[in-house]
Amino acid sequence: MLRSGRIAQRDLHHPDTAQHRSRRRIRLETRELPHVVYEKDGAIARIILNNPDAANAQTSEMVHSVNTALDDAQYDYAIKVVILKGNGKGFCSGHVPTGAYPEFKAELDASGKVWRSAAQLFLWPVLKLWEFPKPVIAQVHGYCIGGGTTWGLLPEITICSEDAWFQMPLVPGFGLPGAETAFEPWVFMNYKRAAEYLYTAQKLSAAEALEFGLVNHVVPADELEARVEEMAARIAKAPLITLQATKSGIIRAWETMGFRVHQQATNDLQAMVTGSAEFQQFVAELMKKSAKPSQRLDD
């Protein structure tokens, strides 16, 4: 149930948050979801990852909460723009390191595989975000790692702070060919750079992400929220139907080139890899080093 009320200062990493919001509306509609805060403020909705004590790790609950918020924003015709951001020291640290997702249990018990359940938790949410019919802005600060890069880089507009960094550690760090799906070739649109980034778990600074075309703007940390809100307000001046038609045209260009089918294929590749003896042996050795993929990497 949405409720109206004064919003406490949640974004502690942005000291100007309360002052900035006081210049706009004081009363917002908010909804507390598992590991997510969902706000609606006129034409702008905010999906705020809210598990800072666990570095905003992508729990099953968080994934489903983001989907719930997207559903609401999609069918609320007052909403024109969605901002996706995170509370705490960083944006999102990716999947829960143990991989203990309840979606996996039934399929593991039945077949020893996690093919369909992985699609339920990873593939379909990726496509849901990709096909979301309204403009989405990712507001990224600090770390954006693994599965978190889906939320940070897949939206058509990403604005990040100067301290932001991006990494997909799962090829050397977990033996997997990606997180949810291999969307990197599509956002990089560069054969060489996408390969090095995935093969080596290359850590990209905000400046490098801007150079590679992965983000739209890099701003000082204390200006991030204001810049994102300014962009959202500017976009929201256009008619909703015009924004939806524009986004549909952009998405269809990528889908004509095969984006959607490619994402489904990479989910199948994940299932093939995880079922192999070579993968199981590799993971067993890695787990002796650390439960976190990012901590298994050689310097």
**297: pLDDT strictly greater than 70:** no
pTM: 0.87
Task: Compare 192 and 289 and report the one with higher pLDDT.
Answer: 192
Beta strand pairing call for 27-33 and 36-41: antiparallel
Beta strand pairing call for 157-161 and 136-140: parallel
Interior angle at CA 178, CA 201 and CA 255, nearest 5: 120
Find the CATH number of the domain harbouring 202: 3.90.226.10
pLDDT in tens, 7-58: 333 443 444 454 555 445 546 899 999 999 999 999 999 999 999 999 999 9
Buried b (16+ CB within 10 A) or exposed e, 119-140: bbbbbbbbbebbebebbbbbbb
Supply the range of the domain harboring residue 283: 3-295
> Per mean pLDDT, which of 39-48, 97-106, 114-123 is the most reliable?
39-48
Total domain count for the chain? 1
275 to 74, 90, 158, 172, 222: CA distances (angstroms) = 37, 33, 35, 17, 46
